[in-house]
Amino acid sequence: MRALTEQLQVLAKEGWDKRAQASYVRYVNKGQVELTECFRQVHLVGSPLYTQMLQVARLSPKEKLALILRQLGAYVDEYDFLQLSVRAKYTFDPELAPLAPFYVLVRSYVLRLYGRAKRKSQPFLQEFAQTTDRNAFSSQLNLLRTYLDRQALSYLRTKYPTEENDLARLLCYAKQTGCALDFETGASFHNRCLKTTHAYLPKNMKVQLAKTDTTGHFNLKNNARMIEYIVSLESLNFVSQWNVLKKRADQTYESDPKCYNLFELEEIANTESFNYGIPYGRGTVPFWYRASHAELDGVSQLDSQVRRVAKKKWRYLKDARQTKAGLAYADIVNQGGLTDLFLWRSISQEKRLSLYQAYVDYLRQTDQKAPGITAFLTKTDRWYKK
Q: How many domains does the chain have?
A: 2
Q: Kindly tell me if the per-residue pLDDT of 384 is higher than 70.
A: no
Closest Cα partner for 91 from 59, 65, 57, 68?
68
Average pLDDT, the chain: 93
My answer on whether 174 and 268 are in the same domain is yes
**Residue 298 covered by a domain:** yes
**Residue 95 covered by a domain:** yes
**Residue 140 covered by a domain:** yes
My answer on whether 41 and 80 are in the same domain is no
| Percent of residues, the chain, with pLDDT higher than 70 | 98
Q: What is the per-residue pLDDT for 273?
A: 93
Amino acid at 181: L
My answer on whether 172 and 250 are in the same domain is yes
Residue 235 and residue 325: Cα distance in Å, rounded? 30
My answer on whether 14 and 112 are in the same domain is no
My answer on whether 155 and 280 are in the same domain is yes
Q: Kindly tell me if the per-residue pLDDT of 382 is higher than 70.
A: no
Per DSSP, 319 falls in state: B
pLDDT one-digit tens code per residue, 91-122: 999 999 999 999 999 999 999 999 888 888 88
Domain of residue 281 covers 73-179+240-313
pLDDT one-digit tens code per residue, 155-178: 999 999 999 999 999 999 999 999
Residue where a domain terminates, one of 259, 287, 313: 313
Lowest mean pLDDT among 247-251, 262-266, 283-287, 321-325: 283-287
Q: Kindly tell me if the per-residue pLDDT of 288 is higher than 90.
A: no
* Helix (H), strand (E) at residue 231: strand 227-232
My answer on whether 88 and 116 are in the same domain is yes
pLDDT band at 293 (very low <50, low <70, confident <90, very high): confident
Q: Kindly tell me if the per-residue pLDDT of 148 is higher than 70.
A: yes
Question: What residue spans of 121-277 are helical by DSSP H?
Answer: 123-128, 137-159, 166-177, 262-269
Q: Residues 368, 372, 374, 377: what is their CA dihedral angle, to the nearest 10 degrees?
A: 40
My answer on whether 130 and 253 are in the same domain is yes
**Residue 227 covered by a domain:** no
* Residues 107, 228 contacting (CB under 8 angstroms): no
**Residue 184 covered by a domain:** no
Q: What is the per-residue pLDDT for 158?
A: 97
**Residue 249 covered by a domain:** yes
My answer on whether 47 and 110 are in the same domain is no
Q: What is the per-residue pLDDT for 344?
A: 97
Q: What is the per-residue pLDDT for 386?
A: 44
User: Residue 260 to residues 194, 197, 198, 254, 285: CA-CA distances in angstroms?
Assistant: 16, 21, 24, 9, 38
Residue 269 and residue 82: Cα distance in Å, rounded? 17
pTM (2 d.p.)? 0.95
**Residue 147 covered by a domain:** yes
**Residue 354 covered by a domain:** no
pLDDT one-digit tens code per residue, 166-214: 999 999 999 999 999 999 999 999 999 999 999 999 999 999 999 988 8
Burial class (CB in 10 A: 0-12, 13-18, 19+), 160: middle
